[in-house]
Chains A and B, each alone.
Chain A
Amino acid sequence: MTLEELFEEHHSSLFRFIARMTHDPDLAKDIVQETFLTIATDWTPEEPPSKAWIFQLARNLARSGMRKRSRRLRLLREGVHRVPVAKPEPSPEVEAERAEARAALRAALDGLSEKERTLVLMREEGFTHREIAEALGTTTASIGTMFARALRKLENGLPDAIQEK
């Protein structure tokens, strides 16, 4: 596998994962790039890193990135999203509703512990319990219980579904 192939295979899901973890698409973009820059400096085609390893590296980079940007994150407040250039945009009303839904979802996810949040978001990216346990430094057998607990915590925090207009 080439480095480009590895990048193409994982960059979208990695961006999504980090953006969901950090609520900062700009930081997520930087983290994806930094992750693969790190991989590139020690790249061996015969031994490409696993998806779990890549995500774990990105998660660690995101943690340090978030500490550096904590002041900027406070300034950005709630409901930050990226407006793509020269693309059709939804109406301000839909955007406002989305921002509200995003803020509520963020609040619900922030109600989880960092491990629970990582677990839930890694599961969304299709990781197995063993991979998640490895990333969290816990046992595979505990993942099911942690996940159930996280779902229970999220139950009251999730916003009502927004209607696509």
Chain B
Amino acid sequence: MTLSHTPSGTLDPGVLVRYLHGELDAAGAEAVDRHFRECSRCRTLAETLEARERELGEKLRRTDAADPGRDVWDAALDEIRKAAAGGRRRGNPSRRLLVAGVVLVFAATAAAASEPVRSWVTGTWSQLRDPDPVPAATGPDAAEGAGRAGVRFQADGPGLDVVVESVQPEGGTLTVTFDGRGPATVSVVGGGSERLAVGERSVRIGNDRSSRAAYLVTVPRAVRRVTVRLVGLPPLDLHRPEEPDIPPTGAAAGGADATVVVDLRDGTVRKGDPDDEH
């Protein structure tokens, strides 16, 4: 086999990859082996390619999403068996799962905003999408009683956004996103009357840089209400230094302004009290 070289004199990287992947025939692999015995540059290049591929694999595995779990796959297999048996196939799972979505964006203006900040929940709420339009609401009371299925609110300007999205009837999918400054902790707690163990998810938002992250929380079907709370640790200071007359908002954090309760049964959203009984 004649081995092709690059203008710099090394073996064609494509040939090296084929060699590393075992894709060369016996004669080709032997030719590369012979070349390696005479050319350390090509040997090093091959080792580099091999290391890069190994590194990629390691990083993919370390950052892989968690497997949904046996319950999810068993449920999927049930549907697949039905389809194979000629049972009535349901529509696109994506469409089925997206029925009756509830979307809430709970936003607070952070220190990065140009406007002075007076509480966690400020700013203008503008309605982005609603099959049954309601007037745009403004101010911290906007979230109270104003949410419904399919409605999304977003505060104008940079801030801390919390997106709560619920999908029925499979249960809920809660997406909590943050884009703002802290320090702060967001916890997501859910539970029906039985206080099921959804799990409390705390995310710390960095106080020295803008934090952006999103967390997808699966809410079991029996859970009907989810509470998203913002808690300042230590007390929050969201006003700019040049506005000393505005008190820190730490006292408000964790209070009614920083709590939103989503009822997954009817999609209503209201401002909540951290002592709310689920």
A contact residues vs B (CB 8 Å cutoff): 3-4, 7, 11-12, 15-16, 19-20, 25-30, 32-34, 36-37, 39-41, 43, 65, 68-69, 75-87, 89, 92-93, 95-96, 98-99, 101-102, 105, 120-121, 123-124, 128-129, 140-149, 151-152, 154-155, 158-159, 161-162, 164
For the A-B complex, the count of residue pairs with Cβ-Cβ distances under 8 Å equals 196
With a cutoff of 8 Å between Cβ atoms, the chain A residues found around residue B213 in the complex are 78-79, 96, 99
A25 touches B59 (CB 8 A): no
Question: Interface majority SS on A: helix, strand, loop or mixed?
Answer: helix
A82-B68, A83-B215, A145-B12 known; A40+B84 contact, CB < 8 A = yes
Number of interface residues of B (CB under 8 A): 64
With a cutoff of 8 Å between Cβ atoms, the chain B residues found around residue A40 in the complex are 80-81, 83-84
B65 touches A84 (CB 8 A): no
Question: Interface majority SS on B: helix, strand, loop or mixed?
Answer: mixed
A77 touches B13 (CB 8 A): no
Q: CA–CA, A30 to B13, complex, Å? A: 38
Q: CA–CA, A20 to B57, complex, Å? A: 11
B contact residues vs A (CB 8 Å cutoff): 12-18, 21, 23, 49, 52-53, 55-60, 62-69, 72-73, 76-77, 79-81, 83-84, 89, 92-94, 97, 163, 173, 175, 177, 179, 185, 197-199, 201-204, 206, 211-220
Interface centre among B66, B94, B173, B177 (most CB of A within 10 A): B94
Nearest Cβ on chain A to B19's Cβ, whole angstroms? 8
With a cutoff of 8 Å between Cβ atoms, the chain A residues found around residue B73 in the complex are 7, 11
A154 touches B76 (CB 8 A): no
A154 touches B14 (CB 8 A): no
Nearest Cβ on chain A to B173's Cβ, whole angstroms? 7
B81 touches A81 (CB 8 A): no
With a cutoff of 8 Å between Cβ atoms, the chain B residues found around residue A75 in the complex are 163, 175, 177
With a cutoff of 8 Å between Cβ atoms, the chain B residues found around residue A128 in the complex are 23
Residue in A33, A69, A87 whose CB lies within 8 Å of B79: A33
A29 touches B59 (CB 8 A): no
Top 4 A-B residue pairs of the complex, sorted by shortest distance between their CB atoms:
A145-B14, A148-B13, A144-B14, A25-B65
Cβ-closest chain B residue relative to A2: B84
With a cutoff of 8 Å between Cβ atoms, the chain B residues found around residue A154 in the complex are 52, 56
Q: CA–CA, A157 to B200, complex, Å? A: 34
A120-B56, A161-B58 known; A65+B94 contact, CB < 8 A = yes
Nearest Cβ on chain B to A142's Cβ, whole angstroms? 8
With a cutoff of 8 Å between Cβ atoms, the chain A residues found around residue B53 in the complex are 123, 151
Could you list some 17 contacts between A and B, CB below 8 A?
A29-B68, A33-B76, A37-B89, A41-B83, A75-B177, A76-B216, A78-B212, A81-B65, A82-B218, A85-B199, A87-B199, A105-B59, A151-B56, A154-B56, A155-B52, A158-B55, A158-B59
Nearest Cβ on chain A to B8's Cβ, whole angstroms? 14
